[in-house]
Amino acid sequence: MEFVTLNNGVKMPMVGLGVFRVNDHKECEEMVYQAIEMGYRLIDTAAAYENEEAVGRAIKRSRVPREDLFITTKLWVTDTNYEGAKRGFQRSLDRLGLDYIDLYVIHQPNNDYYGAWRAMEELYQEGKVRAIGVDNFQQDRLVDFINFNRIKPAVNLIEANVFFQREEELSVMKEKNIQMEAWSPLAAGNNDLFSNDLLQQLSIKYKKSVAQIVLRWLFQRGIVSIPKSSNLKRMKENLDIFDFDITKEDMNAIAHLDTNQSCFPTRYKAKEVEEFLEIAKKYKV
């Protein structure tokens, strides 16, 4: 496993396992357990995924020392305020069955995320969390956030894949010393990613799967990725990306796949945000 050192000195694995939409608790527990057994050290969950307890059971089953794991969970919108963050964090900690969280993240830039951050700063200073970060913060929100808080986010999770490469966002985060982490690094297979001609050609050239090409491409750009898979063969493949290098020429070829458009529905308009918030309130966090 390769690691990156965050802006507070904490080391974070460059590839992890995401468990978004793994709603079956038995499946989630087994998936996470098998991932840890095969070498995954970063596990990414969230209160809104409703599977923190399953992740916690897998961690408990594992023979890997707790200090060797890097566990991320996230604060949901309805708890995004000062008091809510304290409550939400403790609920997540209890569900996971842990003494501390490695990375605690504001899941969405909605509600009172400044108030929530004050609570998270306190949790960080108390040693209950090793690093704090944000999720889905665009450039304007991120820069504003940095300028009006004492502690800078260690990580910002945003969508990043070959079709939505986020080069400008990556440049800003590097300048601000914030680690970029890619959610949905394989674009959930959208835009026929796995049958893309260029990626197929590179797969043959490097004797690696298309997924491995994409994850290696993200790694070489300095981006942490959290692909999701419950298939043991693909889980192993997603972790096996550290024994080859994509040439500069091929990295540039992949750059031309960028559409600068999200592969998923966006929430930039009032109606879209209002619809999202109505749904967000229904989550059992």
- The CATH number given to whatever domain includes residue 139 is 3.20.20.100
Average pLDDT score over the chain: 96
Q: How many domains does the chain have?
A: 1
Among residues 49, 104, 113, 124, the one annotated as catalytic is 49
Does any domain span residue 76? yes
pLDDT-wise least confident of 62-76, 245-259, 269-283: 269-283
**Alpha-carbon span 241 to 213, nearest angstrom:** 8
Could you tell me if residue 71 is inside a domain?
yes
The residue type at 15: V
Q: Is 285 within the bounds of a domain?
A: no
User: Which helix (DSSP H) or strand (DSSP E) does residue 42 occupy?
Assistant: strand 42-44
Q: What is the pTM of this model?
A: 0.95
121-125, 153-157, 193-197, 278-282: lowest mean pLDDT where? 278-282
The yes-or-no verdict on residue 174 having pLDDT over 90 is: yes
Please tell me the predicted confidence (pLDDT) of residue 21: 86
Token pair recorded at residue 131: 């690093």
pLDDT value of residue 190: 86
Task: Give the pLDDT score at 92.
Answer: 98
In this prediction, residue 160 carries a pLDDT of 97
Residue 200 lies in a domain: yes
pLDDT value of position 88: 98
Mean pLDDT of 120-132: 98
Distance (Å, whole) CA 67 – CA 51:
21
Q: Is 49 a catalytic residue?
A: yes
Using CA atoms, how far apart are residues 10 and 95, in angstroms rounded to an integer? 24
**Is 184 within the bounds of a domain?**
yes
Which helix (DSSP H) or strand (DSSP E) does residue 4 occupy?
strand 3-5
Q: Is-contact 99 130, C-beta < 8 A? A: no
Q: How confident is the model over 89-105, as pLDDT tens digits? A: 999 999 999 999 999 99
- How far out from the chain centre does Cα 154 lie? 12
Structural domain harbouring 29: 3-280
Mean pLDDT for 25-34 is: 96
Q: How many CB atoms lie within 10 A of CB 283?
A: 15
pLDDT at 168 over 90: yes
